[in-house]
A and B are shown apart, each in its own frame.
Chain A
């Protein structure tokens, strides 16, 4: 068992009072002895002290007493000629502002990071999106049931039947897809719609048959404005690839400082792809009538809006396919 006692200022004062009450306090030396006995360093008498009272250090607080080592390591009070003892009083002037004391402070606000973003109201009717995308990307293949009407017609006309005619079926087939996503500033309000379409496409097309490419403006003349030092080089995909654009085809407002994209650029782009044996389809959040008719013949432009239906998209696609065959 070990008993250890630690003293602080109060003990010094108490001891000195004890000495005073018992008439034992004689002089400074006596008090120095008491203070040093209790582990305090005595310091010189202050200049203005009218009588021989013990002098406190510059800080009237005792050393921290929760930690024994800390007490032992506390440096001795600094020798100083400063005789000031400062006490603080609360400020009062602000309380004289009458409304200030009466009104409640605005409650604390929570962090913005906790808030979810407004749920997306997609451009397409959500229930129809899958059907619309299917209608847009599907390919007509004549491998359905026997086309009895055509067969009867050819037999009736006395022509030899070299091949049994089959009815067409819409399928996604084995072709490759390249999804081009325009992420320039004019498409910013539609960014989440683009992501929605991407995830839908990802969900129903085989992963290995889809390539996603992002660009700013028109792929053939795009510059990456966010990373100016980088060039963007668009590679024409292999023949048979369906190129699916999520863009405004240059109809959106121009962003200062970026390359202007005209319908002519898109026409050249579509022509190159057509020559390479690719078909081009686009979801555009603007009315397609604003586009030149020539461009609309090269690119199957589907309106990207709430009222669009899969039937409408299928008709549009077939019309463009027919015009391209001609």
Chain B
């Protein structure tokens, strides 16, 4: 029966359903929800039963629990009919687009292709379909996306409109070849013959098998699988035969031979003359040469070198280069998980550069780690006879001949020194001393060596070193240290030095401060101060200069407005330019302290007069939102304003008064929402004598402390923290690197630690501005930085700059404004900087206090107030509390947004705590202190979320947020109950489990499609009450899960659901169904991919709860004679 006949037949049965089908023909999968919307939109007066008539219509080819699909030909015919009425077509497409975000991306992609196919019929010249198909091909071939391939095979069958396209045929062939292992024919459908390039593309990601190559004398043979001693290469796993083409030169002529063999067999021997090129069907080319001949040339190629990698994993290494193969012997600053992988890299050398491939790393890492510089020893300076053996020694005192400490050298504890000396005979030696300290990196087990003195004796010139210290679990320090000197070849490719002191006793003393420990721990998040939730009243004060002009002119009239109803006020500038700059100069730590105090008071009085505000009127906290069109006013330290009582107005008051600045009105609001989950970029200058590594570490620590509730466990590593997900560090980056990082990742917060450097215009010495000096390259100007950090699609919401004068606006001549203003102008909502020199200690206090509560979803204005107050209260920071300026432009509805973001933040933190609990559950014998910390964190987060929800019960939440929150509360309660049970608190555990049950029930009622939550609810109801009171739900869940299993052969999670329901069957009055449960688990074992142990392990874990936790002996299944322990054990035996 052809499609039109089928449509006619269906129309005779139910014309309305066919009419509805026509409108729905642009959709790929039709869910009941979509059906309902289309009926109500296009057939409003038809009875609801039309939906059922279409659901069971003969037009439907595939019908599952969740959706229906029409026969492809029928859908195409219906689309053509619909296309005859452009208005209806447009309306149908519009409605489909409105509901688009509720469908999986691949379904949306299919709908796009449906539309493009229709366009192709209407306008055959359109190339959009071709482009889309090519994108899909590239994703399958280039990225090996098997899921996309699977989708493509079924989708193309449903898109007859694309049949004529060459790319459709190629996609079909590519997808089939990538999925069907070695059983597929190379020829695509439609009789289109592939070109050589297309064939190569087809084979690019083909499954490959390893074969062994053997060259014995002049005979070459291939073995599959490789035998001992064979060289191994990979060929496409074609059937019925594998194939290689051998090419070589003999007597000046090019020769070629074909080598074939059956799978799991060996080829005939081929007579060749080495070197031989072997080419696979995928055009992979291998060069085979004689080992003996290669060794001859290898001796000349071995060269030591220093290499530096940049990218996400920055490292330096010292190693050997031999025959195009790089053997990296030592690295530093590289996460432990990759350390062993980069020791053996393949290099392709051309003149001065070397390109490295990472054969053992995953694609993502390969992309991120790249070698950018390479320094080989000049061939002319090879080892001389005098060069001797290198000494590597751990000393407990400074080496002899070190001389007195030089300027800039920090005092250090000799116990933490490592001295390395390598002598070149008796008369030449170089010593180098390192101090062990915690590195500022995020890897928990990284220590770093910091060179403290450089000696240059005799003619020894520049030198390079690289160390990779490791901490052993027993607390011993193992130092892998490689050292090289560039003008005298003296290279230790590999040497281990084991320190004999335990780390714990060493690093906590002397120069190593306790708070510099970088081991990431789950800490209980800091309590949010109660006041932080109070609403803040915002009063805008605007200052306007009417006259044209620039700079401070004493007596110039200004207009001031404040709030909504206060009368307009005028004031005259009380300071001249000279007076103003003089007072500011007295605050720059170059004058006596008394002078600074006096200047602070003078300026405090003047700015009070200008602001016209000295005391809040209401009982609550107040934000002074300061706006001005007069450029010169931004140079004034309004933050120093004194109150009516002569004390500073913006610190330490109750109720608090918070001053923020705002530019009038060049603000580009590019972040309409407020971020909930933080991702922080920390940019810092290279550690040096001026910027001690301890300061960098303290900033890193402060940022990390604030982010603790967001630090998740490392995937695949039991209970290790993965801090790099939330905090990334750029050490001495170039502008390009900052820009690239911001484009690559949507950072929510950026923190900069650098030196402020005054840059003067060489043509106009009066004109200067402040730039950031990161150490390595050119200073970065305000506009440049603003451009770099705002170049990505998502702007950071908050940027803090810990650098001298980053917020200074004192030079009115310079066209470039301060960092604070330039960033704010570009759309960064909150910028915090210093308008005066910033002391190092101040920068640490500022960072610590500002970020302490920021990521808990609090109001950013409270964080500003907390930071200024902390600076004010710390005696070491002197008057830096008034240096801090904050440019703030909060989004519209910030108060409303804040509730949502606080809630989202709470949900996110609870999710993180739950992940820790999950990670601990997966490992056998976790550290008890970690368990305790996780339990506390879980408990705290649950309480906090519930408190917040209670406080704002009247606020209507988005359904998705509501669902997420309830689901999360349910699982978190269950995990908490397990923790309590594990430590013997049975009663308490059962109480918590009841809460978990109630949350699961609410989650299911909130979204009936989430049958998984429903099953959890039933399971807990069964174990707590000993009965399932609503067998209807039991049946419904089982039907849905079984339908899913029938619908998709790749589905395996539903097996676990069915098995658990079978286990619970007696409690739903259904009799024993354990046999069915066993069958379902057997099916699960078949369906779960062998390389993914997680589904089986998760099911096993759930069943184990019935044997160890949810038993009668532990107080469950009350009023019943037995529990489900035996049946659960039976099921567990199936899983092995």
- A residues with a Cβ closer than 8 A to B are 1-11, 13-14, 16-17, 20, 46-51, 53-56, 58, 60-62, 64-68, 78-94, 96-97, 99-100, 103-106, 108-110, 112, 115-121, 123, 181, 183, 185-192, 195-196, 199, 212-214, 224, 226-227, 230, 248, 251-255, 285-287, 304-306
Contact = CB atoms under 8 A, between A and B. Distances in A.
Given A117-B102, A188-B52, A189-B55, 14 more contacts: A8-B493, A9-B327, A10-B493, A16-B299, A56-B294, A64-B343, A65-B494, A84-B220, A85-B289, A94-B201, A181-B1032, A213-B1032, A252-B52, A285-B48
Contacts, number: 316
A1 B383 CA distance: 29
B148 A106 contact: yes
Given A83-B216, A83-B290, A97 B201 contact: yes
Interface stretch (B180-188, B277-285, B1097-1105): B277-285
B36 A121 contact: yes
Q: Which of B200, B296, B959, B1031 has the most CB of A within 10 A?
A: B200
B392 A103 contact: no
A324 to B, nearest CB: 26
A115 B103 contact: yes
Interface residues of B, number: 120
A305 B48 contact: yes
A85 B141 contact: no
A312 to B, nearest CB: 15
A91 B282 contact: yes
B215 interface: yes
Q: Which of B49, B137, B139, B285 has the most CB of A within 10 A?
A: B49
Contacts of B137: 100
A253 B65 CA distance: 17
B1121 interface: no
Interface string B1003-1022: 00101110000000000000
B52 A116 contact: no
Interface of B: 13-14, 31-37, 40, 47-49, 51-53, 55-57, 63, 65, 99, 101-107, 109, 131-132, 134-139, 141-143, 145, 147-148, 196-198, 200-201, 204, 213-217, 220, 228-233, 274, 278, 282-296, 298-299, 302, 320, 322-325, 327, 329, 339-340, 343-344, 392-394, 493-500, 959-960, 963, 1005, 1007-1009, 1030-1032, 1035-1036, 1038-1039, 1042, 1070
A13 B288 contact: no
Contacts of A252: 49, 52-53, 56
A4 to B, nearest CB: 5
B291 A55 contact: yes
A258 to B, nearest CB: 11
Given A10-B322, A286-B49, A104 B138 contact: yes
Contacts of A53: 292, 295-296, 299
B231 A85 contact: yes
B496 A10 contact: no
A100 B290 contact: no
Contacts of A51: 296
Contacts of B340: 64, 66-67
A23 B230 CA distance: 35
A67 B274 CA distance: 37
Contact of A183 (B143, B500, B1039): B1039
A189 to B, nearest CB: 4
A56 B1083 CA distance: 50
B1050 to A, nearest CB: 12
Contact of A103 (B135, B278, B495, B1032): B135
Nearest to A7: B494
The DSSP consensus for interface residues of chain A is loop
Contacts of A121: 33, 36-37, 40
B138 A105 contact: yes
Contacts of B282: 91
B1005 A199 contact: yes
Q: Which of B213, B291, B392 has the most CB of A within 10 A?
A: B291
A3 B497 contact: yes
Contact of B55 (A58, A188, A214): A188
B1038 to A, nearest CB: 8
B215 A84 contact: yes
Contacts of A62: 327, 344
Contacts of A254: 56
Contacts of A68: 496
A63 to B, nearest CB: 10
Nearest to A107: B139
The 3 closest A-B pairs by CB, nearest first: A80-B229, A118-B33, A112-B104
A142 to B, nearest CB: 35
B320 A50 contact: no
A190 B292 contact: no
A218 to B, nearest CB: 16
Nearest to A122: B36
21 contacts: A3-B496, A5-B495, A8-B494, A65-B329, A80-B230, A85-B291, A88-B233, A88-B287, A94-B141, A96-B197, A97-B197, A110-B105, A115-B104, A121-B36, A185-B63, A191-B1008, A252-B52, A252-B56, A253-B52, A285-B48, A286-B49
A29 to B, nearest CB: 18
A94 B290 contact: no
A1 B698 CA distance: 32
B105 A109 contact: yes
B1009 A117 contact: yes
A304 B302 CA distance: 84
B203 to A, nearest CB: 9
B343 A190 contact: no
Contact of A82 (B198, B229, B295, B344): B229
B500 A1 contact: yes
A207 B394 CA distance: 78
A89 B285 contact: yes
Contact of B217 (A47, A118, A188, A214): A47
Nearest to A256: B56
Contact of B291 (A2, A83, A255, A305): A83
A51 to B, nearest CB: 7
Contacts of A89: 284-287
B134 A103 contact: yes
B288 A46 contact: no
A286 B47 contact: yes
